[in-house]
Amino acid sequence: MSENYIVSARKYRPSSFSTVVGQKALTHTLKTAIKNEQLAHAYLFCGPRGVGKTTCARIFAKAINCEHLGADGEPCNECESCQAFNEQRSYNIMELDAASNNSVEDIRTLTDQVRVPPQVGRYRVFIIDEVHMLSQAAFNAFLKTLEEPPEYAIFILATTEKQKIIPTILSRCQIYDFARITVPDIVEQLQRISQDKGVTAETAALNVIAQKADGAMRDALSIYDQVLASSEGNITYQSAIENLNVLDYDYYFRLDEAFQTGDVPQALLIYKEIRDKGFDSLYFVNGLAQHLRDLMVASTPQTVGLLEMNNDIAQQHITQASRFNTRFFYLAMDLCNTCDLQYRETSNKQFVVELTLIKLCQIMGGTPVQQPPQPRVQKVMAAPTPAQPAPQQSAPAQPAPQATAAPVQPASTTPQQPAAPQPTAPRAVAPQPAAPTRPASVASRRILINKQPTGATTSDAPAERHTARTAAFTPEQFTQAWHHYIEQNPGEIILLSAMRNSVPQRLNDTTYQVEVENTVQVETISSNMTKLLQFLRDEVGNDMVALDIKLSPKGVSTMAKTDREIVEDMRDRNPQFAQMIKDFKLSMT
């Protein structure tokens, strides 16, 4: 009968520093410390899963007790101490799983064992795995022992979540950060294991396994065993992608051809083929985004090193990237990112993906992608009736029309009649001078709306500027207009609540500042800014009125008010509303 099967993650677990994959700098530091006998009393090994933290802790524990340590700092694996460790019968090395032994009593048991000196060798090593799982009380009980252990005791703590360990523990340890293992390093290790097993493995297949492992050697070995079980001693690229449900590079390269030629039907057919194979659309979008990123870094020699793949596939990406310009990569990645964000919100997910593919095809070929118009603040002035040439503005108001009007006849003898000359009428026709027309003001958060000096000049609307209403008004008139809006719009509960709590403060002749309590009120006033400003301007007869929204610095909660809080606020501020609630016996359920 054949020997029992051992999974590769256990069978090929490193037994010396030289066989640890992807941590050369760290293992060199540990070997140097052992050779120079500069050992700390506590170490913390932290990093992602499957990168060798516990393995290095065991090798380190074996090496410091080795009786015939090699010149390179490696354990001999032949002395009594090394053999006892390899046969798992050493009393000098103790391991504790903090995930299942995280109480104060478990730590007290550990500290009692620390008092026992080693019988063979110089040190007793205590390895505590997943140390972040210890309770707060257990950490506190462990502090004193960790700070002042016996000279023969060495603690090695291992964790995947360093941020969960209390600072008083961190300050007592030498901290070693383990890096994710790179794809080439994983592929190289898998090739060695394949040779040892007598298995034929394609490099492209091992590259797929390495990328699927996401930097964890233990995960890579588990995936390797899974693929090997179905490939019967011959690991091919096709068997790897089928077994792991990974999209073939060929799909993405075929899509590249469609993007380059603007072939929308071909792109949609490839997407259908991918869906028919059972792949999730969001998985496809993310894979396409990663593929475009890889092409972008492959397009310039300076960033080719960022590709985490073997040389053959990297060269294929470099060749493909040379067919596109840099602008394509930037726009394409942005479209994929937008699709990823919209995918989770939309009800028609297939449509969003297909629309993205169409836009990608239009970047290089076909109709260019039309970017959505960007919102911008426009300087738009109201167009009052021609019968309103601002007669109240005695001296300063008269020169303004003359400065911008077309050929005004100098023979005019009465300066008080600016409306009489005919040439001024056609100049004001651009916005169609209908008296009731309201200006299309633009509002946004914390911005100054339509603040423009009366004499300012622009190149786009010279005809409308001198017809703006500029009647003088007092702060009391503005406050009265503010309250008129509140009285005439009782249905806008949230907006009125914000307006009642805010008293406009004058900044200059036409600009007022409104201080609100929270960001919800900022958004509410901003979203209603157009009609609010129009109402205020009509009330005071001045199109230069502007509002500046300011968030209160008093530390008032930024949480939105509930319906009950809004009703209670209205009841407190409006006695008639409170009486109505009482008369009709109203209540909120």
Pairing status of strand 200-201 against strand 124-129 = unpaired
pLDDT (0 to 100) of residue 431: 42
Residues 193 and 163 in one domain: no
pTM: 0.56
Q: What CATH number is given to the structural domain containing 503? A: 3.30.300.180
Same domain, 296 and 326: yes
Strands across the sheet with 505-506, in order?
505-506, 511-516, 546-551
| Average pLDDT value for residue range 344-349 | 87
User: What pLDDT does 357 receive?
Assistant: 92
Other C-beta atoms within 10 Å of 172: how many?
19
pLDDT higher than 60, residue 215: yes
The answer as to whether 378 is a domain residue is no
pLDDT score for 371? 47
Q: Are residues 310 and 260 in the same domain?
A: yes
308, 571, 581 from 585: Cα distances, Å: 71, 14, 6
What's the CATH number where 202 sits? 1.10.8.60
Please check whether residues 168 and 30 belong to one and the same domain: yes
Q: What is the pLDDT of residue 333?
A: 92
If asked whether residues 237 and 292 sit together in one domain, one would say: no
pLDDT in tens, 7-62: 888 888 888 888 888 888 888 889 888 888 888 899 999 998 888 898 999 899 88
Q: Is 399 inside any structural domain?
A: no
Q: Is residue 234 domain-shared with residue 110, that is, in the same domain? A: no
Residue 240: what are its φ and ψ, rounded to 5°?
-70, -45
3-state helix, strand, coil in the chain (%, to 5): 50, 10, 40
pLDDT band, residue 381 (cuts 50/70/90): very low
Q: Are both 201 and 166 inside the same structural domain?
A: no
CATH number at residue 298: 1.20.272.10
Q: How confident is the model at residue 501 (pLDDT cuts 50, 70, 90)?
A: confident
In a domain, 65, yes or no: yes
CATH number (domain holding residue 149): 3.40.50.300
Do 25 and 110 have their domain in common? Answer: yes
Question: pLDDT value at position 480?
Answer: 87
Where residue 579 falls among pLDDT bands split at 50, 70, 90? confident
* pLDDT surpassing 80 at residue 379: no
Q: Angle of helix 326-343 relative to helix 281-298, nearest 10 degrees?
A: 160
Give the percent of the chain with pLDDT over 70.
80
Beta-strand ranges (E) seen in 388-536 are: 505-506, 511-516
Q: Is the pLDDT of residue 376 over 50?
A: no
544 shares a domain with 528: yes
Whether 237 maps to a domain, the answer reads yes
Q: Return the closest-CA partner of residue 461 out of 439, 489, 492, 493.
A: 439
In terms of domains, do 285 and 351 share one?
yes
- Residue 202 covered by a domain: yes
Burial class of 36 by CB neighbour count within 10 A (0 to 12, 13 to 18, 19+): exposed
Predicted confidence band at 214 (pLDDT cuts at 50, 70, 90)?
A: confident
Query: Does residue 233 register a pLDDT over 90?
Result: no
Query: Looking at residue 356, what is its pLDDT?
Result: 92
Residue that finishes a domain, picked among 244, 264, 287? 244
Based on the fold, state whether residues 164 and 26 are members of the same structural domain: yes
For residue 426, is it within any domain? no
153-159 vs 174-177, strand pairing mode: unpaired
Q: For residues 216 and 51, is the Cβ–Cβ distance under 8 A? A: yes
pLDDT at 588: 67
Higher pLDDT, 242 or 270: 270
The domain boundary, picked from 147, 177, 207, lies at 177
One domain, residues 18 and 166: yes
Confidence (pLDDT) at 156: 93
Q: With cut-offs at 50, 70 and 90, classify the pLDDT of residue 393.
A: very low
Distance CA 401, CA 274 (A): 67
Q: How many separate domains does the chain show?
A: 4
Angstrom distance (rounded) from CA 537 to CA 147: 73
Averaged pLDDT of the chain: 78
C-alpha 199/C-alpha 296 separation (Å) is 35
Residue with tokens 């894979």: 287
Q: How many CB atoms lie within 10 A of CB 162?
A: 16
Report if residue 66 sits inside a domain.
yes
- 334 lies in which domain range? 249-364
Choosing from 331, 364, 397, the residue where a domain stops is: 364
Q: Which residue has the higher pLDDT, 448 or 152?
A: 152
Between residues 153 and 569, which one has the greater pLDDT? 153
Is residue 240's pLDDT more than 60? yes
Asked, for residue 263, whether it belongs to a domain, the answer is yes
- Residue 199's pLDDT band (cuts 50, 70, 90): confident
pLDDT in tens, 411-455: 333 344 444 444 444 443 344 444 444 443 333 333 343 444 433
